[in-house]
Amino acid sequence: MKTAEFYRGISLPEEAIELLEKVKDTDEKEMKELFQNNREVFYKNILKRENPWLSFLYYYSQMACDVWEEYKKRGISEKIYWDTFSDFTIWCQNCKEETGKYGLRQYEWLFRHIDMTLFRLGRLQFEAFPSEWNLTYGEYAIKKGEDVIYVHIPQGAPLAKAECEKSFKEAFSMFGKEKAYICHSWLLGPELSEIVGENSNIGKFRSFFHVVLRDYDTREAEERIFKMVQENVSMYPETTSLQRAAKQFLMEGGHLGNGVGILKESCLNCR
């Protein structure tokens, strides 16, 4: 696949495409080999460049074009390919909003798409990866390092229950039902139940999982809800009902963490 087709296939902004087409590259082959053989050195090489975020977008797009052939070999649909790599556009637009420049800052997240361990199947993303924790719930006993399927929630469309159920059904077709499906997200943070109703989209998504672990290692919930993290929580905007409820909760001394959930058995029969 040619990069011009890829850029337009994932609906990159025209301004970003123009910048990418001006990139003068003489070491593409060497950089691709470095990505495969020594990723940390690959990252360091790019981070030294004048515009590292654009460089990440350039090289990741080149490698995404190469991956297209592997998609075809495995019989994975063109729709899944475009849906999966549309994540580049989401993060490119976020980079523009946050830095004023087009590119990719989440390079340590987006390699999964190139490695073909993560796929977007409808509303949700699914990634084959070893569990980071020992998890137990009822008859479930997941050991750290055991192969599981992670469920991720990409930014964008509403988190409608019916769309999530369709995604799970697609995931079961691709990955099977033998491995556990787990989700680590701010959306499963226990305190969020005090902010959102059970009948909200977030509340319905939470109902898919048994939450078995919580952590407060990051302030991802605040970053996602408010698009920023403020030390003075009184400075947070109150544009949406979720922002207003979360801000009040934080102003009263609450903390928003993340939760780790195991997909309920009842969801294995999503229609």
Which pLDDT tens digit goes with each residue over 162-192? Answer: 999 999 999 999 999 999 999 999 999 988 8
- Mean pLDDT within 215-235: 89
- Mean pLDDT within 114-138: 95
The total number of structural domains that make up the chain = 2
179 and 198 belong to one structural domain: yes
- CA 226, 102, 152, 38 dihedral sign is negative
21 and 97 belong to one structural domain: yes
105 and 224 belong to one structural domain: no
- Mean pLDDT within 240-244: 92
108 and 122 belong to one structural domain: no
CATH code (residue 229): 3.40.630.120
Q: What is the model's pLDDT at position 265? A: 85
Cα(260)–Cα(133) distance, integer angstroms: 9
- Mean pLDDT within 209-217: 91
Task: Show the domain range for 139.
Answer: 118-271
pLDDT at 54 over 60: yes
Mean pLDDT of the chain: 93
Q: What is the model's pLDDT at position 270? A: 62
102 and 150 belong to one structural domain: no
pTM of the entire structure?
0.92
130 and 161 belong to one structural domain: yes
Q: Could you tell me the CA-to-CA distances from 193 to 2, 111, 253, 259 in Å, in that order? A: 46, 33, 16, 11
Residue finishing a domain among 91, 116, 141: 116
Residue finishing a domain among 116, 144, 179: 116
147 and 259 belong to one structural domain: yes
pLDDT at 194 over 80: yes
Nearest to 220 by CA among 80, 109, 58: 109
109 and 153 belong to one structural domain: no
Nearest to 183 by CA among 211, 160, 157: 211
108 and 179 belong to one structural domain: no
154 and 257 belong to one structural domain: yes
Q: What is the model's pLDDT at position 116? A: 97
Cα(31)–Cα(148) distance, integer angstroms: 31
